[in-house]
Structure 1
Amino acid sequence: MTDLRYYRPLVQAGRVRPEGALVLAGGPYWFAQAEEIARDGGGRIVAAGDVPRDWQNRLTRPRAPVAGKTMDRARIMGILNVTPDSFSDGGDFSEADAAVAQARRMVSEGADIIDVGGESTRPGARTVPEAEEIDRTAPVIAAIREAVDVGVSIDTRKRGVAKAAAAAGAELVNDISGFTFDVGLAPFCAQSGLAVCVMHSRGNPETMQDDPRYDDVLLDVYDFLAGQVAMLEELGLPRDRIVVDPGIGFGKTVAHNLTLLRGIALFHGLGCPVLLGASRKGFIGKLGHAPEAKERAPGSIAVGLAAVAQGVQILRVHDVAATAQALALWRAVEKG
């Protein structure tokens, strides 16, 4: 699906709204105007009522719960890497007991969903054999579901890993390849009743940062996600079970990341909850002068709050407690 015109809602908050304002995604935010964007670089501001009806419907329709959590406010997805080589916390939680303890900690700090990953997808990372990835993730997911009342997602590109994770209790499949790596994964998710997160990436982790280029990164990413959502729907997976993620840092330069973050409200036009996974990414280190990944919580939170202000429903983060505190204060200020 490639539209000639795209519509980015200019998101606002507050109880007092102008006549003609439309509620965004059934949540607490609204928009009275939108930026109309053209492929040729042209653009203008239009009233919400002048946005085409199909775009209006997708922008305003309430989002269904994800992993048992309503999308009427920003939710926190805590990252749990059970890998020896992830860019930020590799090896910290590769043992099952440490992983379950970390899941408990993140839930107590405010995590709504725990995202379990058994394959590092940092730039330059190599593919992990499926059996090894299953051995890393499935026992941890089963232990978390037994120990903690929380939604669990599996961060994988592989059908076999997703199947084992679902049997262990995972409710959501988070695929960084946008369901392009394993052709059997999307049909399995559709048939199994699982929710999915479809992310944009360019290339694979080994090569994705080798001079990535786009005609227009915001619109190119939108078109890719729109095409994958349509593919999933054709397989029988409704939009109510689909989350979209623009894939910050996956085959993008610093400039690409900033363009996507500035325009992230455009992705509400897909009619799905929007997830942002920018936590501790390299561009935060570069712009925030924080060479060590674990020193990037302030920058990660700043980026997350900027996205929440544009209506993003899910923040995928490492620093759960700090993010939860920031969101609590953000909501308090908004409500007055």
Structure 2
Amino acid sequence: MPSITNVGGSVTSALALTLLAWGFRLFRAAALRSDAAKKAHAKHASRKMSRFAAHLSPASLRLLVESDPFPHTIVDIRPTGAKDPLPDCLKESTAIPVRELEAALTPRKGNWQEAVGSEPPSPESTLVFVGDSQQDVKEAAVIAAACGYQKCLLFGGDFSDFDMDASLAPKKMLSRDATAALLGLVGPAGVCVDACVLDLRRHDERALYGCIPGTKHLPVDQIPAAMEMEDEAWKKVYGFPKPGVGDVVVMQCRTNRRAAWAAQVCADHGYKSCFVYKSGAYGWRLDPSVKAYASYEMGECPPEPEPFGLEVPDPAATAKELIELGLMRL
């Protein structure tokens, strides 16, 4: 009689080995997916917003659109077909959902040009992200920083009360002679309160056309981020102490457009004694080293300085103005 092989035992063993192999493969695939997810999370977590990213109030966002104090591009990062309409002042925003932002800002992919019909903004310009939530606009700022855009302004939230919340702080204007007195450049020493005068112009403007003695430099497009810095970080970045919310701060630019916007940002952060020097470097005319010049943007040919005659301060009018504003020690 021929021998009979224990077929059942052999099949059972084979089935067990097959199941064991499948289980190992499933376990290995799950482990690989988990490892990939951890690496992706770590990569995402390592990406941060630039130190020059900051939040805007409705009032500062509105004034940014209305006065256009520096080059910027407003990007609506909400999903396509968002339920709530944007306020009228933001109707011209560029619509790019946050999930498509990285591809749009990566030059080699060309998605920005396809979506918008123009070249993407320069990395030196400021991107202003508006969205439905703080989380979404922060994510947009992280993506932008990874794509080389260091200056981002953020507004995330409910747009239903935007117009009501966008009321502007009253402007406190200061004359040239009063500004010079606060800097200790005219009049008797020690009669004015201490003040910090911030020159908001670009580096090239100060280098080419001079700066008012005693002013501190802080480019206007960095004001929102600077306001959110701790004192130590401010001093490390800008080289002078951060003014306190109770200090007198004077904003100065070429004329007063950038200064007015910066004053609104400061008011949003609790500064009660923030003034705008209304004539700017263009109207200084107390010092030949501070030249008058026409407006120009970065990348344009700088204009020739304009001739002017030196002028003399009016001590009586200056003292009257400073007393009325509470800026003179009595």
Q: TM-score, normalised by structure 2?
A: 0.30
Larger radius of gyration: 2
Q: TM-score, normalised by structure 1?
A: 0.30
